[in-house]
Structure 1
Amino acid sequence: MQKTNTTPLMKQYYDIRAKHPGIILFFRLGDFYEMFDEQAREVSALLGLTLTARHGVPMCGIPFHAANNYIVRLLNAGKKIGICEQTSSVMDKNTKLFERKVTRVITPGTLMEDSLLDANQSNYLVCLSVHPRGWALSCVEVSTGEFWVNQNDKDSTLTNLAAALAAINPSEVVGDKDSLEQLKNKVVLPGKLTLTEQPAFEGDYTLPANWPALGAWGDKKKALACALQTMKYLSVTEPSFKTVLIPSYRELKDSLQIDENAVASLELVKSQEGGRRGSLWALLDHTKTAVGSRKLKEWILHPLMDPGEITARQDCVEGFVKNQSALADLSALLENISDVERIMTRTATGTASPRDLSGLRQSLLNIDPLSRWFETYGNIAPHLRALFEENLPVLREMSRMLYDAVDENPPLKLSDGHVIRAGYNAELDELRSLKQNGRKCMEEMCAREREKTGIPTMRVGVNSVFGFYFEVTKSHIAKVPFNYVRKQTLVNAERFITEELKSLEDKILNAEQKIIRLESSLFDEVRKTCAARINHVKAFAQIVSELDVYMSLALCAMKGNYVRPVVDNGTELHYENGRHPLVEATLPSGSFVPNGLAIGTPENQIMLITGPNMGGKSVFLKQTAIIVIMAQMGSFVPASAARVGVVDKIMTRIGAHDALSRGNSTFMVEMNETAHILASMTPRSLILLDEVGRGTSTFDGISIAWAIVEYLYKPAGGPKVLFATHYFELVDLENKYESVSNWHVDAKEYKDASGESRLAFLYQILPGAADRSYGIHVAEIAGLPAACTLRAKKVLKDLEAKKGAKISAKEQDMVKDLFSSPIVEEIKMADPDKLTPLAALQLICEWKKRINE
């Protein structure tokens, strides 16, 4: 990389770049960060900067004070940035250069600065290790200090890993080469996700002193290895992380698992358009704080499994619903609280700015008002009141200390001065006074000396040679004390200095530098004092975030006319007049058509839903899943009544998710995802299937759909299944299996004024099977040319006329025989618990071959 015959400055640049491969080096020169050579070409193209040259080397630069704007754009482009600063004020005599070092490496997953982060979004870095039987990962949010690990040794297909990553939504994934290759081959990754290759773990289990002992990790050594790899990676970007981050083991099965397709198709945290707007998170988010908004997102993606914990959350939400004054008073309090979670991480790592501590001070000034709120409304969230009172003494102490120490409106940078409040430190106050009133202090000293010596003509002066001095006329020389030191003799006077005068002079002349040093020292002491109490402030952040979420959910419940659901350990899922909250929000008030559901009973384990497209089948499927998620996260739900038996997994096969980049067709993706569902389901799972089998020929599709329904059927108690289909042949399953029931979306055909047949969607889910799919009517509504729809009606009429002849003699009889043949007995005899998904599909193919023969 380094060029021959370079200048000393360029040699320094290339040497530093060589030590930090793979990053764009922001090389500080004066008031600009400069980039050179091929990096200059790359950055100028990405950012639209002017490309110039220095000694024939291409270069471009950005003002250091506006660097964050450019850094965000480079991070969004998947780049990593090294900030190279001048670290010495003394120039090297040989090179005539100042020392420069990379002081910070910024990557998408290691951001701490508020200016680079979305306040409402968590920003996760995942370190991953994939092995033949499964995987392990560590997940860290460096701006908040959240750090946990997980390990799964029974997921060779990485389907559970895909679900975990969908919930985490990391900004950056770190892993060895083989792990990243498997990840790219088996998991659909977001387009902007940064993948960082690192050497594989070398087996060094030397743990930081503040981590749990090695023996505490048991058989989770792969997860521990990921945690250690994370710290190794972070030590390059910010060495002080090691004092803040302590990993814990998080068991993902302790919360409702939502697979990656469900996260996307249900639009939980991101709409189909790709942004937060239009998602469930945005709909429910009425929080006042950044910590509250992030907590709400976490609850949506990780609903609870314990009915007792869910009930406790519901009690808090209901407390706000029933007490408007409590809600209003808390809302006013929370508006004054900053993002203390992220501030404390920067404080603990030594990167907190004066504005950070000012924000922490302003937040902690709400301690006493919050204490009074708990005294009045403590019955709303008693567990948070107990936590608050436990930490209250320390928080009050911190509040007083920060109020006394930090100026009311400190500058952004410590070097700008006036960070420490007047009256906090006597020496600092004296220095500031000297700086502002230096001459006045000298005159006051001179006045004291005149009175003490009895020399009325003594005066204080200053020159560039001696500095400050006392001047005494020769008529009073005899009165000069012995401790005066003569410095200059004039015709009519003598000039003297004293130790006290020189001391004052030194203070005045060096006051500014001393002020900067002393303020820096005092600020560091305050920061360290706060850092030592990080756990107390994190407890405060937890209290604030939970209260904020309860308040937000209460506002949603009142605004949306939601009801408190009953959540228990039963198997039944029942709701009346349920609504899809996202769809409802886009429609005029009162126009959404509600529907009810009762599933998970001996009479209804599997619902087969038929009817035309656009009739509301998918909305019904999705609203059911959303009602379960909202119920188990502790929220009220959009229904008039609801009972939810705890669901452990929500798995969906809705819509076509092609993976052409991996060489998979739509049908292959559909089968892969369905195979995962069949292999992963439990009696407590909720499974949503929409048009499974449509990606292949009709008979293949019917065969596969039929076999899947039978595989899902568990008379002794199986998963709750909503299966939307256009295969009307499947409705016969209701007659064969007691817990399979037919339902349809209602639509009415009518004649318009011209006598043309029209279709009206009624959006109601009713018992029984649909008799038609109304496909041509839907095509008309969609705007298909009239010539096409007229021709389609003619062809349909001809086919229906022939239905009793050729089709009944061949295909119709074959379809009829298909489900009364001996193969059905083989299906009954097959033990699904002993079949892998692949083996099940192979059996289906064999049955199809025999039927065709």
Structure 2
Amino acid sequence: MNYLNLAEIERGKLTPMMQQYLEQKDLWPDCLLFFRLGDFYELFFDDALTASRELELVLTGRDCGFSERAPMCGVPYHAAESYINRLVGRGYKVAICEQMEDPAAAKGIVRREVIRVLTPGTQIDGASYDEKRNHYIVAVYAEGGYYGLAAADLATGIFEATELIVGLPHHRLADEIVRYNPAEIVCNPGFITDKAYDLLTEHLNVTLTELPAVEFTAAAARRNLAIGADYEHDLKSRAAGALMGYLTDTQNTAIAHIEPLRFYTIETAMGIDANARRHLELTETFRDRTRKGSLLWAVDRTRTAPGARLLRRWLEQPLIDLPQIRERQTAVTEFKERFIVRQELRETLQGLNDLERLGGKIALGSVNGRDLLALGATLAKIPAILQVLKPLEAEYARALAEQINPEIELADLLERAIDPEAPLAIKEGGVIRAGFNPDVDRLRSAAADGKDWIVALETREREQSGIRNLKIGYNRVFGFYFEVTKSNLAQVPEHFIRKQTLANSERYLTEELKNMEDTILGAEQKLLNLEHEIFNEIREQLLTYLPSLQQSARALAVLDTLAGLAELADRENYCCPELDYTGDLAIEAGRHPVLEKSMPAGSFVPNDIEMNLDERRFMILTGPNMAGKSTYMRQVALIVILAQIGSYVPAITARIGIVDKVFTRIGASDDLSSGQSTFMVEMNEVAQILHEATPRSLLILDEIGRGTSTYDGLSIAWAVIEYIADRRSLGARSLFATHYHELTDLAAIMHGVFNSHVAVEERDNEIVFLHRIEPEGTDESYGIEVARLAGVPTGIITRAQELLEQLENEHVGRERLKIRRNARPMNGQLDLFSSAIASQEQEDLLARLAATETTRLTPLDALNLLHELAQKARQLDTAKGGSGEGYNQ
């Protein structure tokens, strides 16, 4: 079939309906336009080609004023939601264009308008919607290398904004956006060419919507936000203004449930960059990106969807404010100690409906009968929850309880108004409960009992008139009528009104039959209209309760999360950590929370750590692969994160000085898309860590320098250790795993550096991993033994052992690099360059000798020159690690 090419036609020659379609399409060019025609939503031209491919719909054509037909496909309006959700889930935007008047009453073409736009970032429902995580849309305003960032969750009402103007703004912006993990980003035109955009593409596959620059002006911020003039010029306000304008435009309504805009700075929470989030697997696993196997999976004991979402946000943004941490911790402690209160609360919360999202649906006008039943069921549980919370004494928990509003009148209204069997769609009817409205009852009775009424009337008139064959008939032209044969015309009652004469009979009406006809025939449509009207009135009333409902929802989510952390602590034998600002990090018998849950009870080997900001701030951790170095380091970081969300931690005791940022450099991977090798990726990550870390940070570094040659890698690792461990440059608490055993000598010459190793036991020429962290370093990597355990063929293992013995006997590449006790960084700078400096001095010494004309020297001059050269040679030998004593002989 030949389809019309829209680009090659004169629009004025199209049919009026098709011109109307294109007028709407021009308003939403980046959307698939669902155009309502009767009982179907139709798509045309390129939209039809896309939808038919994505939804596997039959592609047909429609006459449009030309010989060729316009490509077309469509879906029934009553089944459109599932199709739309599939498209949005694949990153498309969908504009819903509805009929705005009754086609039967319209004069000319039916008026149509786009009533709502669904995008990946504004979806609040659907089969793919994960209720246990927030679904964010973010806006970015880029200007001069600095950024404003705003984020919103349309379903729950979260709305917040910040600025990225210090440090490495493009890296910080990318990290923040990765934390939100948005489904959609809206941005100003300048962001597309910004280097932060390139960083984002490494981590996210997200729908990007570019808005005109005018949407990011101060005037737009003033128009869309209720903020003062002091803020309208901020980068963050411009981003927030554009985001609110976009939400309002797409939803075609005021966003009544959105919380007041909250400004924040990233320094108010623990900084966890994108790499650390992935490596530590806070909310999803590194490889499969699944919830199972993550820290969230291991510690989530919440009973409600809002509680699960809140716990996720806490893990993504641990606190650094000690009073806030202690406030949560105190509440968790009370829930842990009050077993009965905790269990009763958790039992009551079980099955509680998502009050946050219900509030969003109410505000956006998408709430249905079943949603209101869910809201009513939730409100019905509130009095019992408040009763359970009465014994609590913790100030924070009591304050939360006071924020929960039972809203008894609203609960009573919903109980009386909404039918317990209300269908999903309002247009199906049956939403309003019997007895709530007398007109609904009468119309419902008419629609349901109309046939019985007709039979009863027919029987009564037959008996009263004596006409045995009197019957009531119906056709579309005349409606209901009594039919009387010619032989019985003399018996026709006086109240019968002749309507039609036929060859063998007469047809009559009565006032009662006419009224009954009006009632029966109009009852169904009138009933639907009346139910819809009443439902909208109830929905309008709900809007007045919205602030109260949102407040209750937030308080319930916090209580659920706190009680869940208490349940975790009690069931898993966690301890209450001591937190302060000292910089100490002391954990006794710490356990990895994820691995412990995945392993048989009691099989995980616990380990200690003792660090501070003085003599034990940098741990060099050695040991073979597979022994547990990475597990141990991750374990420390995860315990710190749990402590700073206010949770108990998996240990016997823990004392933790507040950590402001956590950084990790773990694993190796090429970045082929940007042409970066494993080593380049590693160095980029190390550079970012060194730029962003502070003395209060926690650094987890695994195998720095292994992506290049041995000497290069060792030199870089050595220099990085010097920089981090030295208080003059950084001095942060760090765990550094390495196979460069030469680095363990640094513990003897650098203040704050200490060694630990993972214990291994040799039994019958085989190694057994003990997974125990012990003091001091180790020289053994057990590489061949690990290869054997990994299943490398026996022949290769045997050959490797032969080559190892040969290399050791011949000292080929096996001579240990000595890090002398007198080695010192030069002038406080990185010692990485000391060998290059020594080489330059050696060349200077040789050049001085080569330039000397010995035949012109007097004996005294020769003696003085020899003394000078010997002095320089001694200095050079000392710098290289020698004693310099040989030159005195």
TM-score (norm. length: structure 1): 0.86
**Residues 94 and 710 from structure 1, CA distance in 2 versus in 1: closer, same or farther, beyond 3 angstroms?**
same
Question: Could you tell me which residue of structure 2 aligns to residue 777 of structure 1?
Answer: 785
- Alignment partners' CA distance in 1, 2:401 and 2:743: 58
Residue from 630, 638, 647 that aligns with 2:642: 630
Matched, 1:239 2:227: no
Question: Could you tell me which residue of structure 1 aligns to residue 320 of structure 2?
Answer: 305
Question: Could you tell me which residue of structure 2 aligns to residue 789 of structure 1?
Answer: 797
Question: Could you tell me which residue of structure 2 aligns to residue 200 of structure 1?
Answer: 213
Equivalent runs, 1:568-579 vs 2, <5 Å: 568-579=580-591
Question: 1:667-687 CA deviation, whole Å, 9 max, x = no partner?
Answer: 222122112211211221111
Q: Which amino acid aligns with 1:177?
A: P
Question: Could you tell me which residue of structure 1 aligns to residue 862 of structure 2?
Answer: none
Matched, 1:654 2:666: yes
Equivalent runs, 1:678-693 vs 2, <5 Å: 678-693=690-705
Matched, 1:46 2:54: yes
CA positional deviation for 1:123:
0.6
Question: 1:675-727 CA deviation, whole Å, 9 max, x = no partner?
Answer: 22112112211111111111222222122111111111245893211111111
Question: Could you tell me which residue of structure 2 aligns to residue 228 of structure 1?
Answer: 241
Q: Is the 8 A contact 1:92 1:99 kept in 2?
A: no
CA positional deviation for 1:504:
7.8
CA positional deviation for 1:535:
1.4
Equivalent runs, 1:99-114 vs 2, <5 Å: 99-114=111-126
- Alignment partners' CA distance in 2, 1:350 and 1:567: 46
Q: Is the 8 A contact 1:572 1:643 kept in 2?
A: yes
Matched, 1:142 2:148: no
Matched, 1:77 2:90: yes
- Alignment partners' CA distance in 1, 2:759 and 2:425: 66
CA positional deviation for 1:323:
3.2
Count the aligned residue pairs: 813
Question: Could you tell me which residue of structure 2 aligns to residue 611 of structure 1?
Answer: 623
Which stretch shows the higher mean deviation, 507-516 or 763-772? 507-516
**Residues 102 and 213 from structure 1, CA distance in 2 versus in 1: closer, same or farther, beyond 3 angstroms?**
closer
Residue from 713, 719, 724 that aligns with 1:712: 724
Question: 1:203-235 CA deviation, whole Å, 9 max, x = no partner?
Answer: 2425568944323527x7111100111123223
Secondary structure of residue in 1 paired with 2:667: coil
- Alignment partners' CA distance in 2, 1:540 and 1:844: 64
- Alignment partners' CA distance in 2, 1:816 and 1:607: 17
Secondary structure of residue in 2 paired with 1:129: strand
Question: Could you tell me which residue of structure 1 aligns to residue 564 of structure 2?
Answer: 552
CA positional deviation for 1:733:
1.3
Question: Could you tell me which residue of structure 1 aligns to residue 284 of structure 2?
Answer: 270
- Alignment partners' CA distance in 1, 2:471 and 2:838: 111
Q: Which amino acid aligns with 1:320?
A: F
- Alignment partners' CA distance in 2, 1:369 and 1:600: 48
Gapped regions of structure 2 (runs ≥ 5): 1-5, 63-67, 459-464, 844-889
- Alignment partners' CA distance in 2, 1:360 and 1:701: 61
Equivalent runs, 1:150-161 vs 2, <5 Å: 150-156=162-168, 158-161=170-173
- Alignment partners' CA distance in 2, 1:842 and 1:153: 32
Matched, 1:378 2:387: no
CA positional deviation for 1:621:
0.6
Q: Give the greater-gyration-radius structure (CA).
A: 2
Secondary structure of residue in 1 paired with 2:784: helix
Q: Is the 8 A contact 1:687 1:719 kept in 2?
A: yes
- Alignment partners' CA distance in 1, 2:324 and 2:21: 57
Which stretch shows the higher mean deviation, 349-358 or 69-78? 69-78
Secondary structure of residue in 1 paired with 2:229: helix
Question: 1:750-794 CA deviation, whole Å, 9 max, x = no partner?
Answer: 32xxxxx32211111111011211122222222233333333222
Question: Could you tell me which residue of structure 2 aligns to residue 602 of structure 1?
Answer: 614
Question: Could you tell me which residue of structure 1 aligns to residue 776 of structure 2?
Answer: 768
- Alignment partners' CA distance in 2, 1:846 and 1:87: 79
Question: Could you tell me which residue of structure 1 aligns to residue 738 of structure 2?
Answer: 725
Matched, 1:676 2:681: no
Residue from 749, 760, 779 that aligns with 2:762: 749
CA positional deviation for 1:158:
1.6
Q: Is the 8 A contact 1:149 1:248 kept in 2?
A: yes
- Alignment partners' CA distance in 2, 1:738 and 1:40: 70
Question: Could you tell me which residue of structure 2 aligns to residue 754 of structure 1?
Answer: none
Secondary structure of residue in 1 paired with 2:562: helix
CA positional deviation for 1:155:
4.1
Question: Could you tell me which residue of structure 2 aligns to residue 826 of structure 1?
Answer: 826
Q: Which amino acid aligns with 1:215?
A: A
- Alignment partners' CA distance in 2, 1:99 and 1:609: 73
**Residues 845 and 240 from structure 1, CA distance in 2 versus in 1: closer, same or farther, beyond 3 angstroms?**
farther
CA positional deviation for 1:174:
1.3
Gapped regions of structure 1 (runs ≥ 5): 447-454, 752-756, 831-839
CA positional deviation for 1:816:
4.7
- Alignment partners' CA distance in 1, 2:222 and 2:229: 14
- Alignment partners' CA distance in 1, 2:165 and 2:270: 19
Q: Which amino acid aligns with 2:256?
A: T
For the aligned residues, what is the CA RMSD? 3.9
Q: Which amino acid aligns with 1:762?
A: L
- Alignment partners' CA distance in 1, 2:105 and 2:343: 62
Which stretch shows the higher mean deviation, 636-645 or 51-60? 51-60
**Residues 703 and 93 from structure 1, CA distance in 2 versus in 1: closer, same or farther, beyond 3 angstroms?**
same
Residue from 574, 579, 585 that aligns with 1:562: 574
**Residues 461 and 578 from structure 1, CA distance in 2 versus in 1: closer, same or farther, beyond 3 angstroms?**
same
CA positional deviation for 1:468:
9.2
Secondary structure of residue in 2 paired with 1:217: coil
Q: Which amino acid aligns with 1:826?
A: M
Secondary structure of residue in 2 paired with 1:603: coil
Equivalent runs, 1:793-808 vs 2, <5 Å: 793-803=801-811
CA positional deviation for 1:32:
4.3
Q: Is the 8 A contact 1:91 1:98 kept in 2?
A: no
TM-score (norm. length: structure 2): 0.82
CA positional deviation for 1:268:
0.7
CA positional deviation for 1:421:
1.8
CA positional deviation for 1:516:
2.2
Q: Is the 8 A contact 2:659 2:697 kept in 1?
A: yes
Question: 1:813-849 CA deviation, whole Å, 9 max, x = no partner?
Answer: 7x557x856xx44252x4xxxxxxxxx7997897698
Q: Is the 8 A contact 1:466 1:487 kept in 2?
A: no
Question: Could you tell me which residue of structure 2 aligns to residue 357 of structure 1?
Answer: 372
Question: 1:127-181 CA deviation, whole Å, 9 max, x = no partner?
Answer: 1122334211100101111111010211445221222122211111111233133
CA positional deviation for 1:631:
0.9
- Alignment partners' CA distance in 2, 1:723 and 1:10: 67
Question: 1:579-615 CA deviation, whole Å, 9 max, x = no partner?
Answer: 1111222222211111100112522011110111111
